[in-house]
Every structure is written in C-alpha cells, then in structure tokens.
Amino acid sequence: MKQTKLKRSSRQHVIIGNCIAAVSAAETLRRLNPGDSIVILGDEAVASYSRCLITYYLGDMVDKKHLFSHSEKWYEERDIKLMLSTRALKVDTKNRFVFVSAKGKKKKISYDTLLVATGSTPVFLKSFPYDPDGIIGMRNYDDAQRLKSWAKKGKKAVIIGAGFVGLKSAYGLVKHGVRVKVVELLPTVLGRMTDTEASIRVRDRLTKHELLDIELNNSVISTRRHGDKYMVTYQDGGEEEADFIVASVGVKANTDFLEGTDIEIDRIISVDDCQKTTAEDVYAAGDVCRSRHAVTRQWIYNAIWPVAAAQGRVAACNMSGQNRRYEGNIPMNSVDFYELWVTAIGDVQVEAQDIKEITFKSSGIYQKVKLRDGIPVSFMATGNVDGAGMIRGAIVGKTPWDEFIRRPQAQILPVVNQTDI
Amino acid sequence: MKAFRFIPDKCDICRKCEEACAMVCGTSEKQSGKHVPHIRICQGPQGPFLRLCKHCEDSPCVDACIVESLQRGPDGLVIQDESRCIGCFMCNMVCPHGAMKTIMSKEKAFKCTLMCGKTETPTCVYACDRGALFFEDLRAHNNRIRREKIKELPKR
C-alpha cells in the first residue's frame, strides 16, 4: 500500500490570555498539530500562574515556586511563542488580525484561528472607584504583590464584598497583622455557596480571629481620600478610616477589545458547545464566556477552574479540525478557613415548592442535600466534606436519592447515615 | 492497565491492608503523629467496601486541581506532588468514588499513588491473607467473568 505523506499545515493559532484555559488549549493544540505555530499573548509581565492561588500567596500559604505553574521553559519545550506584557487592543475578524500593544509598541498579528481566553476583572462602582494608590481588586499577581507591600505598612483594611475572594483575601491579610473589616450587602457570607446556617458557622470561625470583623447587611456608599488614608462611609451612617480598600463585589468579562466585531457578547461571550463564537474561526474559553449547566442544559456563567481547563481543551480540538463538544459542568466550589471546610455543589440556594431538604446538623458538621422529584440537585457541607464528590456524581448522573443511599459508599456521608463521624 | 479488585465476601475487616499501607506509604498526621493509610475499608450495611483511588481514565481530580498537585503520570496513573497541595479539597469535591483522603489537621488531601509498587504487588495486596484484595489486569478478569456468564446461558 502506498503511503501518502500528510501535508504539513502551517497555520498560526493565536491565544489571547495566559491562564489555565489558554495553557490547556496551547498544550492540546501542540499535541494535535506538531507543525503549526502557536502564539500566546499575555498582558501580564509574568508567565502563567494559578489564579486561584493568589489569595493563598497573599497569606504566604504558597511560595512563588508553587504559584507559577508553567515556567518559560515549559513554553519553549513545546515551541509555543509566549509574548508577555502584550495587551490586545482590537480584533479584525474579517482580515484576521489582532492589534496589540507589546511593551508600549503597537503591533499587528495575523491568525488562522483565534482563542479568546482573557478572563475577567473585578468590578468597581462609583462609590469605590479604582485607585492604584489604595483601592484595588484581587485578581492577579500584581494585585497580590501590591497588597503584600501595603500590608507591611498599613494597619487597617476594608474589604467590600464577603464572597469567595473577599473572605480569602481577608484571611490572607490578617496573617500579616492587618486589621480587616469585611462589609457585605447580603445577609450571608460566601454568596451563592451557603445558606444562613452555614454562613453563621463560617462567619463565627473567621471572626474568632481578633483582627477580622465581618459586617453583613451593610454596604459602602462613598470613599474619599483623607490624607494618605481613605475615609469609608457605610450605608448605616458609620464612618471609618482605612489604609487601603479591596473591592470584591464581582467580576466582569474582559471583552472591551472585541467591541465592533461580529462576536456576539451579552456581558460574556456567547459560545456554542464547541466553544465557537459567532465570528468565523474565533473561539472563546474560560471566565470570558458562558458554559452549559450539565444537568439543566441551560447556559450559565460558571467561572471555575475545571470548566476553564476543559473549555480550553475542547476549543483546541475544534481549532484543530476535530469536532468535540463540551458537556458542561455544575456550579461548585470548595474552600477552607482555619480548618473549617466548606464545599458547595449545584444550585445551593434554589428555593421552590417542589424542593425537599435533607439536613444533618451537629456541633462540628452541617450538611444539606436538596432534592427535586427525589433527585439531588445540590449539596452543601461544612466541617466534614469527605466524600462530597459522590453526591456530585449523583447530581450530574441524576441518580435518585433512594438509590444513592443504598450504595455502600454513601454510608460515609453524615447526611446519609445521620450520625456524627 | 492493572487495577485493584476487591471481594467483599472474603473480607472480614482485619485492617491488615490499612496497617501495611500506613506503614509503607501512609501520611503522618500533624497532631497525633499517627500514620494514616490511603486505602480504607469501611463497614457498610451490606458488608465491607473499599475506598481507594481507581486512577480513572477521565480523571476529574486532575482537572479540578488548582495547584497542579494531581497530575497524570507517564504510565497513566494519577500521581500527586504532596508538597504542592494546599488543601482546597476541590479534588474531594469532584471524585465520584470518594477516594481522596482528606486530612484536616494537615490541611492537605492525599490519595493512593501506588508509590509502594507500580509493577509488583502493592503493599496492601501483599498484606491481605484473606484473598479479598487483588491487583491485576481487570480486562483479563472481566473476560473470565464474561466467559463464565456465557456458559450459564441456556442453549438454544
């Protein structure tokens, strides 16, 4: 049989962004297309690092060596061209160009396929506008470095928003001896991850630390410069001085540079199951785009690490001509504060007539499962989170609860056997 | 690839496998200094069952690990770099087998990485004298079962 040599394509794949979605896409692209050229445009001055870890880095819980997951050598080994300090300014989807500013110089980069994996940035409001001297978000390595240096001289910080990042930053800052006050508009901490009971447990555990204070049902209505400090005015009329302020009230997708293109954006990029955008040969992955809810099949914004990693991989397969679809995931997260673990899987705060709840409560453990028509839809645990993944499997696999609790493995869950383990 | 096979009927929960695992590649707890095994035999209502990493092909824990502590090794096994683990327990949240050993006092999660013998018999299997735990090529085992089942089928 005559062997035909495969024609070596020499396409150029351009990836905007340099976090997990971009890195996992680049790795897959290289594996599938050994001959193609791959370019990563990162707007930061450092190579890829784990973004979830920066709050841990702030609290000196991880060192630099572990924070940076991919060294520049990693890119070299795979022949991936890494352009750092390069910000995308505009995309021309008709002629296939990305206009960038690389270290101050403007450049034009052509592409055959483009992946947008630019992630998101913190939201600032009028009452607390971005200020490089003292009001910042907590999203990248730069922010962590700045907060670390401020923590050395500052004695008091205000964190707006008691979400995941807000509490984790507070946890990190008190380790540096900074007095921290967290202000939250909602009556619970950790946003969509908890209910009232779990929120109380988390709050109690955190505020056990003498430097940490959490105030719920309150918000910041104005901030103004006061010498080299900031005066913060709260909704309940109180005023307070702070050395610096961290905003963590939410994020918005980085899509500004895509304005004026034919890419459909509804706050986040609308992609299909193949991670394709509405523009030809332009794909998106990670926090910048939507993803499917694995159970309800609705489009949701699920900005978590495993989703970004999987989306990057799926996008890369489709960019290489393979047809792959992403099956989606469910909202979930896991965190610990002073050895109190919190895991939330699925739509924890769903309230409806047809929802049945099963709870287990003891002094150290609180677990709750919500069932709809006998099928688990969410699970939340604090204290003992061992074996949480088994319920996740039941939620995604739509396993009826009666069937699930008959499995021997399920017996280790306090919510199943109703005993304190 | 080889995998673990557990026969619950033969197990009388003597915990020799756990002891051996704790001694050879277990993890020491911070407070008690006690060694904790990665293999766990639990007592269920219908008899004992095994909690151990199955090294799934589509391993959700590797995807979920935010510190790249859990990775797929060159031989297909899911391996762990314990020094990187920060104890976020994302792996525990996605593992459908509940195999992650979460050690609260250490703020880390651990799992069986077959450190004790990838090619030879693992320590826990070696320690089991009841014939309840095997480490073998499951494909051969499954084929054997299939052949037996076919024999049982009524002849037409």
Q: What is the largest CA-CA distance in chain A?
A: 85
Q: How far apart are the first and last CA of chain A?
A: 66
- The candidate with the shortest Cα–Cα distance to A23, out of A386, A286, A280, is A286
Cβ-based burial of A212 (10 A; exposed 0-12, middle 13-18, buried ≥19) = buried
- Rounded CA-CA distance A317/A274 in Å is 9
- Rounded CA-CA distance B84/B70 in Å is 9
- Rounded CA-CA distance B79/B135 in Å is 18
Q: Which of A353-362, A378-387, B41-50 has the lowest mean pLDDT?
A: B41-50
The one-letter amino acid code at B13 reads I
Best interface-test mutation with B: which of A54, A395, A411 has the largest number of B CBs within 10 A? Answer: A411
Reported confidence tier of residue B84, pLDDT bands at 50, 70, 90: confident
State residue B32's pLDDT score.
64
Q: Do A50 and B68 touch (CB under 8 A)?
A: yes
- Rounded CA-CA distance B4/B55 in Å is 10
Domain region containing B80: 56-97
- The reply to whether B76 and B144 lie within a common domain is no
- Rounded CA-CA distance A12/A35 in Å is 10
Best interface-test mutation with B: which of A302, A406, A409 has the largest number of B CBs within 10 A? Answer: A409
Which regions of A45-183 does DSSP assign to beta strands (E)? 80-83, 86-92, 97-102, 105-110, 113-116, 120-122, 135-136, 156-160, 179-183
State residue B29's pLDDT score.
67
State residue B108's pLDDT score.
85
Best interface-test mutation with A: which of B89, B103, B105, B111 has the largest number of A CBs within 10 A? Answer: B89
B3 occurs within a structural domain: yes
In chain B, residues with a C-beta closer than 8 Å to the C-beta of A306 are 60, 63-64, 90, 94
State residue A326's pLDDT score.
94
B106 occurs within a structural domain: no
State residue B105's pLDDT score.
75
- The candidate with the shortest Cα–Cα distance to A82, out of A29, A51, A44, is A44
- The reply to whether B47 and B117 lie within a common domain is yes
Q: Do B66 and A334 touch (CB under 8 A)?
A: no
pLDDT above 60: residue A254: yes
- Rounded CA-CA distance A403/A405 in Å is 6
Tokens at residue A280, please? 């030809």
Q: What CATH number has the domain bearing residue B137?
A: 3.30.70
- The reply to whether B1 and B43 lie within a common domain is yes
pLDDT above 90: residue B43: no
The CA distance from B36 to the nearest CA of chain A, in Å, is 15
Q: Do A53 and B66 touch (CB under 8 A)?
A: yes
Q: Do A334 and B89 touch (CB under 8 A)?
A: yes
Reported confidence tier of residue A9, pLDDT bands at 50, 70, 90: low
Helices (H) and strands (E) in chain A, counts: 11, 27
Mean pLDDT of chain B: 84
State residue A297's pLDDT score.
93
- The reply to whether B9 and B83 lie within a common domain is no
Per mean pLDDT, which of A157-171, B13-27, B134-148 is the most reliable? A157-171
Out of B49, B66, B93, the one facing A345 most closely (by C-beta) is B93
Q: Which domains does chain A have, with CATH numbers?
A: 12-121+252-319 (3.50.50.60), 124-249 (3.50.50.60), 341-417 (3.30.390.30)
pLDDT above 70: residue A320: yes
For the beta carbon of residue A18, count every other beta carbon within 10 angstroms.
Answer: 27
Q: What is the largest CA-CA distance in chain B?
A: 66
In chain A, residues with a C-beta closer than 8 Å to the C-beta of B100 are 389
B24 occurs within a structural domain: yes
pLDDT above 60: residue A5: no
Tokens at residue B66, please? 């935010």
Which residues fall within 8 angstroms of residue A244, CB to CB, at 6 or more apart?
A: A134, A135, A136, A147, A150, A154, A157, A158, A230
- Rounded CA-CA distance A113/A316 in Å is 10
Calculate what percentage of chain A has a pLDDT beyond 70. Answer: 97
pLDDT above 80: residue A365: yes
State residue A373's pLDDT score.
92
pLDDT above 70: residue A206: yes
Q: Do B88 and A386 touch (CB under 8 A)?
A: no
- The reply to whether B66 and B141 lie within a common domain is no
Tokens at residue A277, please? 């955008």
- The reply to whether B88 and B116 lie within a common domain is no
Query: For chains A and B, what is the number of CB pairs under 8 angstroms?
Result: 100
State residue A336's pLDDT score.
87
State residue B117's pLDDT score.
63
In chain A, residues with a C-beta closer than 8 Å to the C-beta of B49 are 408-409
Domain count, chain B: 2
Residue A70 near residue A89 (C-beta atoms within 8 A)? no
Return the residue of B nearest to A20 by Cα: B66
Q: Do B87 and A66 touch (CB under 8 A)?
A: no
Size (chain A), residues: 421
Residue with tokens 């009388």: B12
- The reply to whether B45 and B117 lie within a common domain is yes
pLDDT above 90: residue B83: no
Which regions of A34-178 does DSSP assign to beta strands (E)? 37-41, 80-83, 86-92, 97-102, 105-110, 113-116, 120-122, 135-136, 156-160
Average pLDDT over residues B116-141: 82
Q: Do B60 and A306 touch (CB under 8 A)?
A: yes
State residue B121's pLDDT score.
82
- The reply to whether B65 and B142 lie within a common domain is no
3-state secondary structure of A337: strand
State residue B73's pLDDT score.
83
State residue B114's pLDDT score.
80
In chain B, residues with a C-beta closer than 8 Å to the C-beta of A332 are 93-94
Average pLDDT over residues A170-195: 92
pLDDT above 70: residue A331: yes
Tokens at residue A405, please? 């609790």
The CA distance from A162 to the nearest CA of chain B, in Å, is 18
Average pLDDT over residues A367-392: 93
State residue B5's pLDDT score.
86
B144 or A111, which is more confident: A111
Q: Which residues pair with residue B2 across a beta bridge?
A: B137
- The reply to whether B66 and B33 lie within a common domain is no
A191 or A57, which is more confident: A57
3-state secondary structure of B90: helix
Q: What CATH number has the domain bearing residue B79?
A: 3.30.70.20
B33 occurs within a structural domain: yes
B87 occurs within a structural domain: yes
- The reply to whether B45 and B67 lie within a common domain is no
B102 occurs within a structural domain: no
State residue B144's pLDDT score.
86
- The reply to whether B3 and B45 lie within a common domain is yes
The CA distance from B86 to the nearest CA of chain A, in Å, is 8
pLDDT above 90: residue B139: no
Residue range A261-287, pLDDT digits in tens: 999 999 999 999 999 999 999 999 999
Calculate what percentage of chain B has a pLDDT beyond 70. Answer: 92
Return the residue of A nearest to B64 by Cα: A306
- The reply to whether B37 and B84 lie within a common domain is no
Q: What is the DSSP letter of A217?
A: S
State residue B120's pLDDT score.
73
Average pLDDT over residues A16-43: 94
In chain B, residues with a C-beta closer than 8 Å to the C-beta of A390 are 95-98
B107 occurs within a structural domain: no
B104 occurs within a structural domain: no
